[in-house]
Amino acid sequence: MNEVVDEGGDGQRIDNFLFKRLKGVPKTHIYQLLRSGQVRLNSKRVDAGCHLQSGDVVRIPPVRTGVRPVPGHGGVKPAPFPFEILFHDEALIVLNKPAGMAVHGGSGVSQGVIEHLRAQHPEWKFLELVHRLDRGTSGVLFLAKSRAALIELHRQIRAGQMEKRYLTLVKGKWRNPRQAVRLPLHKYVTPTGERRVVVASADGLDEKGAMPAHTIFILKKSWPDFSLLEAELKTGRTHQIRVHLAHLGFPIVGDDKYGDFDLNKRLSREMPAKGLKRQFLHAAVAEVAHPVTGRRLRVDAPLAIDLRTFLEQLDLSETSVVKRS
pLDDT in tens, the chain (325 residues): 778 887 667 778 898 888 888 877 888 888 888 888 889 999 889 888 888 887 788 989 887 655 444 444 444 555 678 899 999 999 999 999 999 998 887 655 567 899 899 988 989 889 999 999 999 999 999 999 998 999 999 999 989 899 999 999 999 999 999 999 999 999 888 887 788 899 987 655 556 668 899 999 999 999 999 999 999 999 989 899 999 999 999 999 999 999 999 998 888 776 655 567 899 999 999 999 999 999 999 999 999 999 999 999 888 875 555 554 4
What residues does 222 pair with on adjacent strands? 227
- Among candidate residues 224, 242, 227, the one with its CA nearest the CA of residue 283: 242
- Judge if 57 and 171 occupy the same domain: no
Domain-ending residue, one of 47, 64, 81: 64
Does 116 map to a domain?
no
Residues 49, 137: Cα–Cα separation, whole Å: 32
Q: Which domain holds residue 171?
A: 163-316
Print burial letters for 35-60: b (CB count within 10 Å at least 16), e (below 16).
Answer: eeeebbbeeeebebebebebbbbbeb
Residue 208's CATH number: 3.30.2350.10
- Judge if 58 and 184 occupy the same domain: no
Q: How many CA atoms lie within 13 A of 106 on its CB side?
A: 11
Residue 34's CATH number: 3.10.290.10
Q: How many CA atoms lie within 13 A of 323 on its CB side?
A: 8
* Secondary structure class of 277 (helix, strand, coil): coil
* Secondary structure class of 227 (helix, strand, coil): strand
pTM of the model: 0.74
How many domains is the chain built from? Answer: 2
- Judge if 312 and 173 occupy the same domain: yes
- Judge if 291 and 182 occupy the same domain: yes
Domain-ending residue, one of 43, 64, 85: 64
- Judge if 310 and 175 occupy the same domain: yes
Domain-ending residue, one of 38, 64, 90: 64
Residues 94, 300: Cα–Cα separation, whole Å: 10
Catalytic residue annotation: 134
- Judge if 167 and 298 occupy the same domain: yes
Does 151 map to a domain?
no
* Secondary structure class of 252 (helix, strand, coil): strand
